Amino acid sequence: MSDPQAQPPGDSSNRDPNYRDPNYREPTVGQPPYGQPPYGQQPGGRPYSNPVVAAPVSEGDDRLWASLAHLGGILSFLPSLIIWLVFKDRGRLTNTEAKEALNFQITLLIAYAAITVGSTFLALVTFGIGGLLVGLGWIVWLAGVIFSILGFLKAKDGQNYRYPFALRLIK
C-alpha cells in the first residue's frame, strides 16, 4: 500500500520556488513568432538589402587571375569560365583576358566536336580510313596548348592577348 498523504508525482506544489528545469530555455530576443509572416513582410522581419559587391583586386592579383585564365585553358574551358564569372567585376584585365580565353576554349570545343563527328562519319562510310582524322584533333589540342601559354605570358606582363582564331561569342 502507498501512503495516502504522499503527493502524486506530477504535483509541484511542494517544489522549491527557485527551482528551474534544466531543459527549459528562454526564447531568444527577436525570434520570429511561429507561423506565416503577415502579408507584405519578408520572413525574418529584416528588410531586403542590396547584394554585397566584392572588392576590386589589386593590379598584381588582376594580372595573376588574367594569366591563370589563359593557362587554365590547357585543362578545359571550365577554369576560364570560373575565373571570368568570379572576377569579371573585380578587375579590368581579368575580365577581358578571361573572356578572351573562354572564347578560345569554346572555339576549340566546337572544333573537337566537329572533328569527332566528321571522323566518325568518315570512318563509318570508308570502313575505318576516316579514323585517320583523329590526328587532326591532336593538332588542334597542341595549338590550344601553345596559344594558351602565349596568352599566359602576355597576361602575366599585364598586356592584352588576342588569339589568332577564336569565335567571339562572349562579349
Q: Indicate the Cα dihedral angle 114, 116, 118, 122, nearest 10°.
A: 180
- Rounded average pLDDT per 10-residue block, the chain, 171 residues: 59 65 66 64 59 77 91 90 89 91 94 90 80 84 94 92 88 83
Q: Where are the domains of the chain?
A: 59-156
Which pLDDT does position 24 carry in this prediction? 66
Q: Distance (Å, rounded) from C-alpha 24 to C-alpha 141?
A: 67
| pLDDT for 162 | 93
The burial of 30, by beta-carbon neighbours within 10 Å (0-12 exposed, 13-18 middle, 19 or more buried), is given as exposed
DSSP state of 157: T
Question: Between helices 59-71 and 78-87, what is the axis angle to 10°?
Answer: 160
What pLDDT, on the 0 to 100 scale, is given for residue 14? 62
Return the pLDDT at 22: 72
pLDDT score at 60: 86
Among all chains, which residue has been given the C-alpha cell 503527493? Answer: 7
